[in-house]
C-alpha cells in the first residue's frame, strides 16, 4: 500500500518534487495581469456613467426651471416688507411656481413675477456683458438656468383682474369695483406715510377698467414702486384734472401671458425662510 505522506516515496523522486512546486506557485501570477487589463475598461465605464448622469441631471434641472419652478432674486425695495431687496444688500431669493397658472389665472392678492411689457422697459439696462464671447457664454448658461434671463422681470401684487375697475381717491381710498380694499401687507414704517390718512400713497388715479387678458399690479411699498400707476396713460385733460391713468388702459396693465409664475416662498437668506402669503385685498373689511 502506498501513502502520499510516506517519506520513502517522496525520497524516490526528489527532482520531481522540486519541479512540481514552482508550477503550483505560477498560477496566481496571471491574476494581476488580468486585473491590469480590466482596469482601463472599468475607468471608461465609470466615465461614461458620470457623463450620462451629468447630462440627465442638467436635463432634469432645465425641465424644472422651464416648466415647474425657478429661483429669482429680489433686487429692489418695491415689495417691502413682504419681500426684501435693495441695491448692494442681500435680497430675498424667492421660488416661483410656474405650474399653477397653466391651469388657472392670477387672482387678486397673488404675488407674481412677470416679464415687463415693452412700455415698461424704459430705463432697463441689459445684464449681459459687452464682451461678445462672455455674452454668448451668459446666454448659453441662461438656457439651463445658471444665469438669469436677459429680460425685465418684475415682481408685484395683483390688485385687479380683467373686467374689474380700479381707482384711487383721497376720500375713498383704493377701490376695485367701488369697494375699498383691505391691505394688511402695507407697512406705514416702510412707506413713510400712513395709509389711513394718505390712502392713495401717491397721486389719485383712474378709473381704469382692466382689459381682457390683463391684470393691474402694484408694489406693497407703494411709495417706492414703479407699478401699473407709473406706466399708465393719461387722458388729454390731465393738466386740468391732475388725475392719472385715465387714458388707454393697455399701457398700465400687464398681459397675463407675460406672467412667469406665482411667488411661493423665500428660499434665502435662512433668516427669512417662509411662504409668501397671499392676501386677497378685495376680501376682508
* 7 sits in which H/E element: helix 7-12
Residues 205, 244 contacting (CB under 8 angstroms): yes
For residue 117, what are the CA distances in angstroms to 63, 103, 232, 258?
Answer: 25, 22, 12, 7
Alpha-carbon distance of 120 to 251, in angstroms, equals 8
Count other C-beta atoms under 10 Å from residue 221's C-beta: 24
Residues designated as active site: 78, 156
Beta bridge partners of 262: 97, 112
H/E stretch holding 174 reads strand 173-176
Amino acid at each position: 500500500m502506498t501513502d502520499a505522506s510516506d517519506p520513502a516515496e517522496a525520497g524516490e523522486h526528489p527532482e520531481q518534487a522540486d519541479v512540481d512546486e514552482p508550477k503550483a506557485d505560477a498560477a496566481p501570477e496571471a491574476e494581476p495581469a488580468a486585473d491590469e487589463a480590466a482596469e482601463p475598461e472599468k475607468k471608461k465605464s465609470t466615465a461614461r456613467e458620470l457623463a450620462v448622469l451629468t447630462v440627465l441631471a442638467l436635463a432634469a434641472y432645465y425641465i424644472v426651471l422651464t416648466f415647474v419652478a425657478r429661483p429669482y432674486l429680489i433686487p429692489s425695495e418695491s415689495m417691502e416688507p413682504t419681500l426684501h431687496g435693495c441695491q448692494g444688500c442681500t435680497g430675498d431669493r424667492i421660488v416661483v411656481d410656474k405650474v399653477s397658472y397653466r391651469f388657472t389665472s392670477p387672482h387678486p392678492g397673488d404675488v407674481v413675477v412677470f416679464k415687463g411689457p415693452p412700455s415698461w422697459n424704459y430705463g432697463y439696462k441689459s445684464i449681459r456683458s459687452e464682451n461678445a464671447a462672455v455674452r454668448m457664454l451668459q446666454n448659453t448658461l441662461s438656457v439651463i438656468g445658471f444665469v438669469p434671463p436677459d429680460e425685465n422681470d418684475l415682481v408685484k401684487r395683483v390688485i385687479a383682474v380683467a373686467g374689474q375697475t380700479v381707482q384711487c381717491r383721497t376720500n375713498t381710498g383704493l377701490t376695485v369695483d367701488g369697494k375699498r380694499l383691505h391691505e394688511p401687507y402695507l407697512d406705514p414704517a416702510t412707506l413713510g406715510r400712513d395709509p389711513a390718512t394718505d390712502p392713495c400713497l401717491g397721486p389719485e388715479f383712474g378709473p381704469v377698467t382692466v382689459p381682457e387678458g390683463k391684470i393691474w399690479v402694484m408694489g406693497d411699498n407703494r411709495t417706492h414702486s414703479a407699478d401699473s400707476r407709473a406706466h399708465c396713460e393719461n387722458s388729454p385733460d390731465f393738466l386740468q384734472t391732475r388725475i392719472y391713468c385715465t387714458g388707454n388702459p393697455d399701457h398700465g396693465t400687464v398681459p397675463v401671458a407675460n406672467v412667469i409664475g406665482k411667488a411661493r416662498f423665500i428660499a434665502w437668506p435662512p433668516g427669512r425662510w417662509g411662504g409668501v402669503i397671499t392676501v386677497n385685498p378685495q376680501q376682508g373689511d
